[in-house]
């Protein structure tokens, strides 16, 4: 496992963080427009290359298959998906989306579905989307014309999406096996994280069971929700809760995601690095565009 950060590395598979921010994204526009506001993070986030610029939490899984073809699987396409794709797809040579896997149907995970038309109009025939039955119902109420294409009225051509419903049974996406990690995202709201190979991805969670902990155990890399420090939220882990989970699960490395503007990337990561020295806990916030080479 290594941080590549370069578009064309020798390793045949990697993950790329397409977004590491919570629903509202960072910066908050109101932090930029309110003269009384003293938020240090949002003004930094608009500087080119700032690690504080965060779009909705999303991940690219990229593998070079034996045939030589590059397979691109995306987890979640939320409100800022278009912007994430515009910034990172050219850099990482992403020409097709060979599978889109959904964690749950909140706007920061499915709000970008309309923009998928670019791929099915111009790069590929259709696009398979893997999601739970209840999430498909929510998507249908948000985007009725994408689920029933006979209802479209515009002339631009809507995305040709193939919806595949999933449950807790492991399933394959373009040859990669994914196992659902059922987690709580608020009281009595179950959503999915996913385990694939040595990676566990849990972007939206406030609690999970011992059974799910067992599915995560042995991961080389855990990507985990850590909204902000201190103030509990109800539907997301705080930073302190995420650290506690990383200790409990004993994974090799943890990268945190789904952060608000309360997280100032570099100083917070410098603090977290002290845990590596004091107790051998490797835990850091990811940032948009971070690429990790890992065998899948």
Residues that bind Zn ion (CB under 5 A): 28, 31, 39, 42, 106, 204, 261
- The candidate with the shortest Cα–Cα distance to 164, out of 147, 141, 151, is 147
CB of 68 to Zn ion, least distance (A): 37
Cα(99)–Cα(89) distance, integer angstroms: 15
CA distances from 148 to 20, 158, 161 (A): 31, 10, 10
CB of 162 to Zn ion, least distance (A): 24
Contact 259, 108 (CB under 8 A): no
CB of 177 to Zn ion, least distance (A): 25
Q: Which is nearer to Zn ion, 131 or 292 (CB)?
A: 131
Q: Which is nearer to Zn ion, 92 or 143 (CB)?
A: 143
Q: Which is nearer to Zn ion, 16 or 259 (CB)?
A: 259
Q: ∠ CA(277), CA(283), CA(288), 5° rounding?
A: 135
Query: Using CA of residue 286, residue 290, residue 295, residue 296, what is the dihedral sign?
Result: positive
CB of 56 to Zn ion, least distance (A): 10
Cα(75)–Cα(58) distance, integer angstroms: 6
Q: Which is nearer to Zn ion, 29 or 168 (CB)?
A: 29
């Amino acid at each position: 496992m290594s941080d590549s950060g370069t578009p064309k590395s020798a390793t045949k598979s990697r993950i790329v963080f397409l977004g590491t921010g919570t629903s509202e994204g960072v910066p908050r526009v109101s932090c930029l427009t309110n003269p009384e506001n003293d938020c240090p993070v949002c003004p930094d986030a608009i500087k080119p290359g700032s690690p504080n610029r965060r779009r909705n939490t999303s991940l690219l899984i990229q593998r070079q298959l034996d045939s030589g073809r590059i397979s691109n699987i995306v987890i979640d396409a939320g409100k800022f998906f278009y912007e994430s794709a515009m910034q990172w797809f050219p850099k990482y040579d992403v020409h097709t989306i060979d599978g889109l896997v959904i964690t749950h149907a909140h706007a920061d995970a499915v709000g970008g579905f309309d923009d998928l038309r670019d791929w099915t109009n111009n790069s590929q025939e259709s696009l398979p989307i893997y999601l739970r039955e209840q999430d498909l119902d929510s998507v249908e109420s948000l985007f009725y014309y994408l689920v029933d294409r006979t209802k479209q009225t515009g002339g631009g051509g809507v995305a040709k999406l193939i919806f595949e419903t999933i449950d807790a049974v492991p399933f394959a996406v373009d040859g990669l096996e994914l196992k659902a990690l059922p987690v709580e995202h608020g009281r009595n709201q179950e959503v999915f994280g996913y385990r694939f190979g040595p990676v566990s991805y849990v972007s939206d969670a406030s609690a999970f069971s011992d059974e799910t902990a067992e599915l995560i155990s042995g991961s080389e890399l855990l990507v985990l929700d850590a909204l902000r420090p201190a103030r509990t939220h109800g539907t997301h882990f705080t930073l302190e809760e995420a650290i506690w989970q990383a200790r409990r699960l004993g994974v090799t490395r943890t990268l945190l995601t789904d952060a608000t503007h309360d997280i100032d990337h570099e100083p917070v990561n410098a603090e977290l690095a002290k845990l590596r020295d004091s107790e051998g806990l490797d835990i850091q916030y990811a940032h948009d565009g971070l690429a990790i080479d890992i065998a899948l």
